[in-house]
Amino acid sequence: MADLRDFTGKNRKFTGTIGERISTGTTGERDEATFGAGTLRFNTTTSLMEYYTGTEWKSIDAPPTVVNFNIDGGSAVTSSFLPNTSSITTITINGTLFTANSVVLFVGTGGGNVSPITTTFNNSTLLTITVNSNSFNGTYEPYDLRVTNPSGLFAELPDAIVSDTIPSFTTASGTLGTIIDTQRSSYTLSSAAATDPDSDTITYSISAGALPPGLSISSSTGAITGTATAVVSNTTSTFTVSAATTNQTATRQFSITVNAPVVTSYTSTGAFSFSVPAGITAVEVLLVGGGAASAWIGGGGGGGGVVHHTSFPVTPGGTVPGTVGAGGPSSPGSNHTNQSPWNGRGENSTFGTLTAIGGGSTSGWIFQSTGGPGGVWPFSPGGSGGGASGNNYGGSQVQTSTSNPGATVNVGFPGAAGGQGSPGNPTTGAGTHTGGGGGGAGSAGGHPTTSGPGNTTSDRNAGRFGGNGVANSITGSSVTYGGGGAGCEHDGAFQIGTVPGGTGGGGPSVPNQNGTPGTANLGGGAGGGFYPDYNGGSGGPGVVIVKY
């Protein structure tokens, strides 16, 4: 009910509970000239009360509120991160007093504001927007979420969005490389690392599959290191690398292949050429020189030299020349007089700059010596395996040095720089026709005056065993190479039967038989022929084995 002063006084008074009716009209129906400053009306265009200040119209409104938001249907949060990708993200905003004309804006720190692609007014407590995730820039994070109503009043949710770029791998999905057998500890692989544009710390792990046995990944750098375990057939391992920051994780699938060893054996004597496969920078090589022959009634032939190089440098796609040393030829029958010169020395085996010297040859019956390079006639040098024994004093220093840097050179006992064959029976009279065993790659041969079976003073007529060779597993199983041949024995009353050659292909000496040849491709020295009517044996050819 109105008071009379509403009509008569300057200070009107409104009473009652119903309310007062205010003039209404659209924005276009405003009439500032008639009423001027202080005009109060209801704007049907904006659905808000408004008043005129004399210079502008101002709406009368309550500000909205922003409570929280959801990203792509997730849980309601007051802050979150968005990956800096090209994906379209849907965000629902929860609050109060939203209108159909509310404007949403993500306000960056220092610039870089982001506006939605679309804004949908669901109701006064819910707005739905879509944004392009890569519109957010880590330079301006964190972003405030602001909702502004038509009145200009707004609400903000501070530090609502953090932009985080997902790490990026530097190598495409697929193989990181192949590890060959000889480079299982010194290989080169493509990188499994990633970079992060935000300079966040990245932690690496294998999230699926497994690395080849023996390898591991660094959690801080993504480097894959270790010594790969040898395999019997080419094996490919597939795995997934995870590169994770605090908020983001990138994954990528890679593979690594570990190759089984490729072993090539050159067994035919003479020259050959090894073709280096592409990508191969080093090979493992075993060289065995040819074993020496034994002379008629002579000591056993020396075993071929053995040279093992675990990482011999080669040029990918190139070639490496080599030779396989032949075994020494046996002596002519009844070679007990000073006939034409005879050389039963084994030939050298080579591979590039590596050389395994052939075994030293023996002396004959009357060609006695107090020492000499690998026997008496024709003073041929012995091999890295050992010199041969002579009838009386046949064995001698066989190799004083080696010019194979980086190689393991197996030489006969006792000389560290070269093998030495053992002398035969140094006495005269009974037993002078017996021969000492040829030196092997691993030890010297014996002779009848040393301790052991058949070596007492009363049985000097017995020949003596050949020196043992050395074992090597380059082919995948252990094989002994470079055994010395056994010395021949006298036909006196104290024969002890067959005398064994050294392990690794050394030929035995057998009663009433010619000297036994050394084993082919082991570089074995030959066993001596039985006195008085049997010839010496020929030395066993060497071998060159290449592995990568």
pLDDT of residue 399 exceeding 90, the answer is: no
Whole-number pLDDT of residue 33: 82
Cα–Cα distance, 114 to 129 (Å, whole number):
12
428 or 124, which is more confident: 124
Share of the chain above pLDDT 90, in %: 42
In the numeric block, which tokens belong to residue 485?
């041949």
506 or 226, which is more confident: 226
* pLDDT band for position 157 (cuts 50, 70, 90): very high
Whole-number pLDDT of residue 512: 78
Whole-number pLDDT of residue 6: 55
Name the strands in the sheet holding 349-351, side by side, starting at the edge strand that comes first in the sequence: 270-275, 319-324, 349-351, 354-356
482 or 379, which is more confident: 482
Q: Which option is the CATH number for 168-258: 3.40.50.10490, 3.60.70.12, 2.60.40.10, 3.40.1670.10?
A: 2.60.40.10
What confidence tens digit (pLDDT) does each residue in 97-115 have? 999 999 999 999 999 999 9
Mean pLDDT of the chain: 78
pLDDT of residue 463 exceeding 90, the answer is: no
pTM of the model: 0.61
For the ranges 198-212, 275-289, 390-404, the lowest mean pLDDT is seen at: 390-404
Sign of the torsion formed by the C-alpha atoms of 366, 370, 373 and 375: positive
How many angstroms separate the first and last alpha carbons of the chain? 109
Amino acid residing at 93: I
Quick one: average pLDDT of 212-221? 97
The answer to whether the 65-164 and 168-258 domains have the same CATH topology is yes
In the numeric block, which tokens belong to residue 230?
């040898």
Share of the chain above pLDDT 70, in %: 73
* pLDDT band for position 178 (cuts 50, 70, 90): very high
Of 36-45, 136-145, 153-162, where does the model show the most confidence? Answer: 153-162
Structural domain boundaries of the chain? 5-60, 65-164, 168-258, 262-330+347-548
DSSP state string for 112-169: --B--SEEEEEETTEEEEEEEGGG--GGGPSEEEEEE-TTS-EEEEEEEEEEEPPPEE
CATH, domain range 65-164: 2.60.40
Whole-number pLDDT of residue 105: 97
Q: Which of 61, 131, 529 is nearest to 334 (CA)?
A: 529
* pLDDT band for position 233 (cuts 50, 70, 90): very high
Q: How far is CA 142 from the centre of its chain?
A: 43
Cα–Cα distance, 545 to 539 (Å, whole number):
19
For the ranges 31-35, 131-135, 209-213, 364-368, the lowest mean pLDDT is seen at: 364-368
Burial bucket for residue 507 (CB in 10 Å: 0-12, 13-18, 19+): buried
Cα–Cα distance, 484 to 257 (Å, whole number):
43
Tally of CB atoms within 10 A around 514: 23
Whole-number pLDDT of residue 311: 87
Burial bucket for residue 271 (CB in 10 Å: 0-12, 13-18, 19+): exposed
40 or 412, which is more confident: 40
Whole-number pLDDT of residue 332: 62
* pLDDT band for position 496 (cuts 50, 70, 90): low
